Structure 1
Amino acid sequence: MKKMKSVLILVLFFTTLFSFAQQAPTQKIKISGKVIEKISKQPLEYATITFLNPNNPKPVAGGITNPKGEFDIEVIPGVYDINIEFISFKVNEIKQKNLQVNTSLGLISLEEDANQLNEVIIRSEKTTVEIKLDKKVYNVGNDLMVKGGTVSDVLDNIPSVAVDIEGNISLRGNDNVRVLIDGRPSNAINIAEALRLIPADAIEKVEVITNPSARYDAEGGGGLLNIILKKGKNRGLNGTFIGSAGYPENNGLSGTLNYKSDNFNLFTTQGYNKRNSPGNALTNTNYLNADNTINNIVNETRENDRFSKGYNGNFGIELFLNETTAWTNTFNYRKNNGDNRDNVFQNYFEADNTFDYTRNRINLENSDSENVEFATNFTKKFKKEGHKLTLDGSFSTSKDLEIAVITDRATNTAKVKFDNTLNNQSQSRNLLQMDYVLPIGEGGQFEAGYRGDFSELLTDYQVENDGLINKNFTNTLEYKEKVNAVYTQYGMKINKFSVLVGLRFEDSNININQLATNDFNTKKYNNFFPSAFFTYEISDKSSASVSYSRRIQRPRGRMLNPFSNLSSNINIFVGNPDLDPAFSDAIDFGYIKRWDKLTFNTSLYVNKTTDVFQFARRESGDFVNGIPITISSPINLATEYRAGFEFTLNYSPYKWWKLNGNFNFFRNETQGDFVYTDFNNKIITQNFDNIATSWFTRITSKVSLPYKIDWQTNATYNGAEKSAQGNRLGVFSANLAFSKDIMKDKGTLSFNISDVFNSRKRMMETNLPGFANSYGEMQWRVRQFSLSFTYRFNKPKNEKEKQPKKLQNDNEGDYQG
Structure 2
Amino acid sequence: MNRIITQLFFFLFVVFGLQQNFAQKGNVQIIGKVVEEANQQPIAFATVILKNKNTNENISGTTTSDDGSFEMTSKTPDFYIEVSFMGFATKTIKNFTTKNGQADFGLIVLKADVETLEDVTIIAEKSQTEFKLDKKVFNVGKDLISSGASAMEVLNNVPSVNVSIEGAISLRGSEGVQILINGKPSVLTNGDSNGLGTITADMIQSVEVITNPSAKYNAEGTSGIINLILKKDEKKGINGSVTLNTGSPNNHSVGLSLNKRTEKFNIFSQFGVGRRTFPFESERTNTYPATATSTERELTTIGDGNKNEKFYNVVLGTDYHINENNVITLSGNFAFEDESEDSDLAYYNYLAGTLNETTYRNENTTATNPKWQYDLQYKKDFEDHKDHSLLLSATGSFFGKDKKSLFEDINSTNSSDLQKTATDFKEAEYSFKLDYTHPFWEKYKFETGFQYDMNDVSNDYSVANLINDEYIIDPNFTNIFDYDQKVLGVYGTTSYEGEKWGIMLGLRLEDTNVNTLLKNTNEKNDQKYTNLFPSLHSSYKFTDDFSMQVGYSRRIRRPNLWNLNPFTSFRDKFNISAGNPNLQPEFTDSYEFTAIYKFNKGNVNLGVYHLYTTDVMERITSTDGLVYITQPENIGTNAATGLELNMKYNPFRWFTLTGNFNYNYFDRKGDYEETSFDFTGDRFTSRMTGKFKLPAKFDLEVSGNYSSKYKTLQGENNDNLFANLGVRKKILKGKMVLNLSVRDVFASRVFESFRNIDGNTVSSTYKRGRFVTFGVSFGFGKGEAMEFSGHKRF
Q: Deviations over 1:670-696 (max 9, x none)?
A: 110111xxxxxxxxx222112121111
Choose the corresponding residue for 1:790, options 774, 777, 782: 777
Aligned twin of 1:705: 694
SS in 2 for 1:428: strand
Structure 1 residue runs of 5 or longer lacking an equivalent are 1-30, 39-45, 63-82, 92-110, 145-150, 164-168, 170-176, 622-626, 676-684, 801-817
Choose the corresponding residue for 1:477, options 468, 481, 484: 481
Choose the corresponding residue for 1:692, options 678, 681, 685: 681
Q: Is the 8 A contact 1:199 1:254 kept in 2?
A: no
Choose the corresponding residue for 1:510, options 514, 518, 525: 514
Aligned twin of 1:300: 301
Tell me, yes or no, if structure 1 residue 574 matches structure 2 residue 561.
Answer: no
Choose the corresponding residue for 2:660, options 662, 682, 688: 662
Pairing 1:68-83 to 2, within 5 Å after superposition:
none
Q: Partner letter of residue 296 of structure 2?
A: N
Tell me, yes or no, if structure 1 residue 748 matches structure 2 residue 737.
Answer: yes
Distance 1:799 1:410 in 2: 52
Aligned twin of 1:158: 170
| CA apart distance, 1:462 | 1.1
Q: Partner letter of residue 573 of structure 1?
A: S
| CA apart distance, 1:303 | 0.4
Aligned twin of 1:535: 539
| CA apart distance, 1:85 | 9.5
Choose the corresponding residue for 1:774, options 762, 778, 782: 762
Tell me, yes or no, if structure 1 residue 140 matches structure 2 residue 129.
Answer: no
Distance 1:112 1:488 in 2: 50
Q: Deviations over 1:222-274 (max 9, x none)?
A: 54467999999421112222101011110011122111111111111222221
Superposition RMSD in Å:
4.3
Aligned twin of 2:492: 488
Q: Partner letter of residue 431 of structure 2?
A: L
Tell me, yes or no, if structure 1 residue 360 matches structure 2 residue 360.
Answer: yes
Gap change, CA 1:409 and 1:183, over 3 Å in 2 = farther
Pairing 1:317-328 to 2, within 5 Å after superposition:
317-328=318-329
Tell me, yes or no, if structure 1 residue 121 matches structure 2 residue 117.
Answer: yes
Q: Is the 8 A contact 1:638 1:671 kept in 2?
A: yes
Choose the corresponding residue for 1:565, options 545, 569, 572: 569
Q: Is the 8 A contact 2:647 2:660 kept in 1?
A: yes
Q: Partner letter of residue 488 of structure 1?
A: G
Distance 1:228 1:212 in 2: 17
Aligned twin of 1:760: 749
| CA apart distance, 1:528 | 1.0
Aligned twin of 1:79: none
Q: Is the 8 A contact 1:359 1:408 kept in 2?
A: yes
| CA apart distance, 1:557 | 1.5
Aligned twin of 2:728: 739
Aligned twin of 2:790: none
Q: Partner letter of residue 401 of structure 1?
A: D
Pairing 1:189-588 to 2, within 5 Å after superposition:
195=191, 201=197, 209-220=210-221, 222-224=223-225, 233-290=234-291, 295-351=296-352, 353-383=353-383, 384-411=385-412, 413-466=413-466, 467-588=471-592
SS in 2 for 1:579: coil
Gap change, CA 1:89 and 1:458, over 3 Å in 2 = farther
SS in 2 for 1:757: coil
Q: Deviations over 1:775-808 (max 9, x none)?
A: 21111x32011111111124475999xxxxxxxx
Aligned twin of 2:703: 714
Q: Deviations over 1:619-671 (max 9, x none)?
A: 1x3xxxxx611001110012111110111111111111111111101112211
Distance 2:574 2:127 in 1: 45
> How many correspondences in the alignment?
688
Gap change, CA 1:292 and 1:160, over 3 Å in 2 = farther
Q: Is the 8 A contact 2:550 2:592 kept in 1?
A: yes
SS in 1 for 2:219: coil
Q: Is the 8 A contact 2:508 2:532 kept in 1?
A: yes
SS in 2 for 1:277: strand
Aligned twin of 1:809: none
Distance 1:659 1:200 in 2: 24
Q: Partner letter of residue 651 of structure 1?
A: Y
Structure 2 residue runs of 5 or longer lacking an equivalent are 1-15, 19-33, 35-44, 62-81, 91-106, 139-149, 157-162, 788-794
Choose the corresponding residue for 2:717, options 704, 728, 733: 728
Aligned twin of 2:77: none
Distance 2:713 2:532 in 1: 32
Aligned twin of 1:653: 651
Q: Partner letter of residue 742 of structure 1?
A: I
| CA apart distance, 1:754 | 1.1
Q: Deviations over 1:100-159 (max 9, x none)?
A: xxxxxxxxxxx9997458776346799999866435879424799xxxxxx999675524
Gap change, CA 1:229 and 1:362, over 3 Å in 2 = farther
Q: Is the 8 A contact 1:128 1:140 kept in 2?
A: no
Q: Is the 8 A contact 2:451 2:489 kept in 1?
A: yes
| CA apart distance, 1:211 | 0.5
Q: Is the 8 A contact 1:349 1:356 kept in 2?
A: yes
SS in 1 for 2:244: strand
Aligned twin of 1:13: none
Gap change, CA 1:558 and 1:113, over 3 Å in 2 = farther
Q: Is the 8 A contact 1:121 1:796 kept in 2?
A: no
Distance 2:293 2:649 in 1: 54
Aligned twin of 1:631: 629
Distance 2:655 2:598 in 1: 18
Aligned twin of 1:679: none
| CA apart distance, 1:290 | 5.0
Distance 1:308 1:128 in 2: 44
Q: Is the 8 A contact 2:589 2:611 kept in 1?
A: yes
Aligned twin of 1:3: none
| CA apart distance, 1:368 | 1.1
SS in 1 for 2:476: helix
Q: Deviations over 1:548-573 (max 9, x none)?
A: 00111111121111113211000001
SS in 2 for 1:707: helix
Gap change, CA 1:54 and 1:728, over 3 Å in 2 = farther
Q: Deviations over 1:30-69 (max 9, x none)?
A: x889xxxx9xxxxxxx999999999999899x9xxxxxxx
| CA apart distance, 1:546 | 0.3
Distance 2:519 2:126 in 1: 50
SS in 1 for 2:580: coil
SS in 1 for 2:562: helix
Distance 1:754 1:264 in 2: 40
Aligned twin of 1:806: none
Gap change, CA 1:749 and 1:695, over 3 Å in 2 = same
Q: Is the 8 A contact 1:242 1:790 kept in 2?
A: yes
Distance 2:58 2:662 in 1: 45
Gap change, CA 1:225 and 1:263, over 3 Å in 2 = closer
Q: Partner letter of residue 371 of structure 2?
A: N
